[in-house]
Every structure is written in C-alpha cells, then in structure tokens.
Structure 1
C-alpha cells in the first residue's frame, strides 16, 4: 500500500517548528477574497475563485513543467507571479497534488527531506497538449482592481513586520497589548466585509 503522507502537516514537520506563528496563519498565506468568519462565510456561492481546484491545478501543472517543486515552493511561486494578488492555501495546493499523483501525472521523491513533486512523462505530455487552455492562472482576471490587492498586500506585510518586532523585542505586557490590537484588527476586517454586504 502506498504511504500517502503528502500533507501540510507532514510538510510543516519536515520544515521544522515555526517560531511564534503569524496572526493570520502562515506568513502571507492570506487572501482577502478567501476571508470568512461570523456572518460572512467567504466566497459567495456560484463565483469562480482562484482558490478553486481548476485554477490551482493549472498553476501546479505549469510550474511543475518548469522544475520539480514541493508544496510550499508552489505557494510562494504563485504568490510571486501574481504580485501578491493570489496566495493559495496549503488546503488547496496539497489535495490537488495528491489528485495529480492519483492520475499518474506527477510522482514524488524526497529532496532534502521534503516530498517534492515531479511531472511524469504523461504529465509533461498533458501540459504540452493543453498549454493554451491552461492559460496563465496567476494573471489578473478581467475586472480585477490590481492596485487594491497590491495596496492591501503591502499593508499586511508592514503589519506583520510590526507584529514580528513586538514578538521579538516587546515585554510581556507589550505582547499582551499587541494581542488585543491583532484581535481588534481581525474583528474590524469582518466589520468591513459586513458593511460592504449590507
């Protein structure tokens, strides 16, 4: 029986423990379009989003046609090529990689302790045949306001930078205050979404 251990949990274990953690999950692994919470379950039904399997599948196939990668590399590469507009979550990347393996399009091998995906001959043939239809999944979608995403991404990076400094240099009392600030920011974001939907 095949040992299917390709999961975010195992990949995190191979990378070693993360120091501290991030206020919105893994660093920059946050997409305002994926937001959910009380009274706002995230994407509206019927809207095709970048996080859906088809888009992630196309991105994974195209990137793996360039070179073997593990899941975290795929996430980083997609985020970089989309200029921060799209950062897929591990929960969308890893199931797609598993599905591609089940279809015989990728195979895995350990590289520096990480389970790395490589296209099989069938996978490369599929990419060549479907390259045009695969498109450029990280490119801006029609009607997308690029500047809004760029501004929000920059704001989030500076927020995380300030949070890291408090975690590193702050006193216990300052870290407690920072926890309240982060929690208030999370609640404020949900209020923004609620006001927009009203």
Structure 2
C-alpha cells in the first residue's frame, strides 16, 4: 500500500483528526456520521470505533478547529475559521491519508472478490458439501467400488444403531455384543482372502 501503511487498521490520531475535520468541512456531522463517512471513504476497510472518534472530536473542539451544538440528544460538529486554516496548512497530509484509505479499500475489495471467487470455485468442486452449513455432518455416502448389497447392508446397520442408541443400557450393551460379533466375522472374511 506504499509508505503510508500503518500497522493494524487504525489511522494515527493526528490523521484521524484531519480526516474528521475534512469531513466536517464538507458538512456538519455527528460522531456516528463521521464513522460512516470514514468507512465509506475506505471502501469498508476501516471503520473507526466511537472510542477513537469522540476523543478526536473533543480535541478538535478544544483546539478551536470545530464547534458543536446540541442536536437532539447528539452533538453536531461544525468547522470553525481556525479549522479551515488548519486544513489549508495540512492539505498534503489529508490528501495522503485519504489516498491511503482509498487504496486500502480498493485492495480489500480485490481481496473480497478473490476470496468470493475462490469460495465459489471450492463450492463447485465440493458439490453439495459446500452448501452444508459449517459443523453439520456430511450426508451419508455409499462406499465406492463395492456391490450394491454391501452398501444397502451398511445403511441398514447405521439405521439400526441409531434406533438402538435410544434404548435402555441393557439394549445398548446387547447391541454392542452383536456388533462386536459381526465385526469379528467380517474380519475373518477378509482373512480368508489372504494367502499365507
């Protein structure tokens, strides 16, 4: 992003004050309006918190660069002549900061578009799995390269286990014994094919 890149997504407090004053020069604003205007200038990349904006506004007012008056239960900030002079003296810094915000927003938009395209490609590659909300189990899938009878038996076994898990402890223990016997017999079948 060039030389103006700052660590994190926050502007230096002096930069934020200048941007706030610049936006107040465009039109009188409430603190919330400033937050939204800065977010818009950055293409959604940076949305300063009220905990950063309101101290900046207090500074501008105490420095004589802005004045405020009650507008309902909010304060409406207006630029003063001193504020206009301060902006005039700092036009280069303001333009640099606004340029930084715009470039950061453009890069973030390109990243969002790339991520969306990548997600769409993954969704296509994964088929139905991509439609599934995160944390939900995959739908039951048949085994590949087996006879249909084996898949049918596997599905029946899964359904029977689901049914018995709601039974009593005794029924669950009996089911476990049946499954263990079946597992031993299945292992024995596979051993028959091995030539020792």
TM class, shorter-chain normalised? Answer: 0.3 to 0.5
More helix by share: 2
Higher relative CO (CA 8 A, sep ≥ 6), structure 1 or 2? Answer: 1
TM-score between the two structures when normalised by the length of structure 2: 0.48
TM-score between the two structures when normalised by the length of structure 1: 0.47
Q: Greater CA radius of gyration, 1 or 2? A: 2
